[in-house]
Amino acid sequence: MTIHQQQLKKTISETEIELIKACKAGDRQAQSRLYHRYAQSMLNVAYRIVWNKEDARDVLQEAFIKIFRGMDALKEVNTFPAWVKRIVVNTAINHHNKNGKWSFLELTDQDTPELTETIDENSIQLNVKNIKQGLLKLPKGYRTVLSLYLIEGYDHKEIASILNITVSTSITQYNRGKKRLKELLTAEQ
């Protein structure tokens, strides 16, 4: 079971269930409270796909309009967190595709010479700040696949479907991206 599937099974608090019911009835106060519970994390989910702050804010807006207008479609309240995340991810992908800024497929391997030397796992400096900066230095295709896998917890099959690439592309991008990131983290020190 992937982390993403575990999230689907995760139960949500009573308070949140009440809020969701109130939102379905159109209660603006409840919408505000529910929005504020999710805004920070979902804004960053969007950012880690579009990689641009303004676009991420637009995606958040668009996604929450869909969420509040589409709440009747939500039958199983427990799936709300996963449902919200899926809407945010889909909106971000659409937004990204619409803007046509770069293609997930565009990123082929010619810009990344195959690394032959193995990286000494012990020389890698693991800290959040370096990794965040390191991710930003990677090509967007790599960093998106890495963050969908490592931060959002999707598996390769899910990523393939989200990004409309094949499972093997997702795996290749992931492995190469991870290698590049490790290399950056070694050079950082």
Rounded to a whole number of angstroms, the minimum distance from the CB of residue 56 to another protein is 6
Residues lying near another protein in the complex (CB under 8 A): 8, 28, 31-32, 35-36, 39-41, 43-44, 47-48, 53, 56-57, 60-61, 64-65, 68-69, 73-76, 79, 82-83, 86, 121, 124, 126, 128, 131-132, 135, 147, 150-151, 153, 157-158, 160-161, 166-167, 178, 181-182, 185
Query: If you search the block for the tokens 């094949």, which residue do you land on?
Result: 166
Rounded to a whole number of angstroms, the minimum distance from the CB of residue 113 to another protein is 21
Residue 36 has which token pair?
């504020």
121/96 Cα distance (integer angstroms) = 35
The DSSP 8-state label assigned to residue 120 in this structure reads: -
Residue nearer to another protein on the CB measure, 116 or 127: 127
Query: If you search the block for the tokens 């702050």, which residue do you land on?
Result: 53
152/145 Cα distance (integer angstroms) = 10
Rounded to a whole number of angstroms, the minimum distance from the CB of residue 53 to another protein is 5
Residue 139 has which token pair?
């090509």
Rounded to a whole number of angstroms, the minimum distance from the CB of residue 65 to another protein is 6
The helix-helix angle for 128-137 and 167-187 (nearest 10°) equals 120
Residue nearer to another protein on the CB measure, 110 or 121: 121
